[in-house]
Amino acid sequence: MCGILAALYCSDTSFSKRRRINELSRRLRHRGPDWSGLHCYKDCYLAHQRLAIVDPASGDQPLYNEDKTIIVTVNGEIYNHVALKEKLKSHKFRTASDCEVIAHLYEEYGEDFIDMLDGMFSFVLLDTRDDSFIAARDGIGITPLYMGWGRDGSIWFASEMKALSDDCERLATFLPGHIYSSKTAWSIGHEIM
């Protein structure tokens, strides 16, 4: 399994914050020794520690839509990615990664796309067009996801609590089958089946 870390709406956007995110992401290195990736946008950071299973040559993360306005870091596998790509014929895929469909599905269908996914997953997606994000975890909860709240009002997500514990004042397990949207907070009653 891969390791993901996201820190969103941080008050500190200095180079030292970027260095700190890399340091925290390295705590997840044992989950994904094949690649380390980081995307920084304004006050948001998405990091990934990759275990290359599907598309080991070009599936490095974070992943993007065509114009890189939608960024996603994913832990898991999307079993029905081939069928989903068929619904996205107008989109250009950069990789053969099963998880790249997430960015394109969001661009096409908005948050409703999550119900289309068949697989085991946890992810954080950043939409730079309106500075919003969503986080989601599959209905069974096969891949772990934790959430934290920073002292500066930032919101954090990670595959393991040890990537959050030093920088967050509150921590919680992200419940299986749930979605968190910056537009609506918890999607009450919206569970992924």
- Asked if residue 155 lies in contact with residue 177, where contact means CB atoms within 8 angstroms, the answer is no
Alpha-carbon distance of 10 to 48, in angstroms, equals 18
Place of tokens 């960024």: 71
For 39, the token pair is 């995307």
**Residue 2 is a catalytic residue:** yes
Q: Is 138 exposed, middle or buried (0-12, 13-18, 19+ CB in 10 A)?
A: buried
SS3 66: coil
Length of the chain: 193
Q: Which of 2, 10, 44, 168 is catalytic?
A: 2
Q: Which residues participate in catalysis according to the annotation?
A: 2
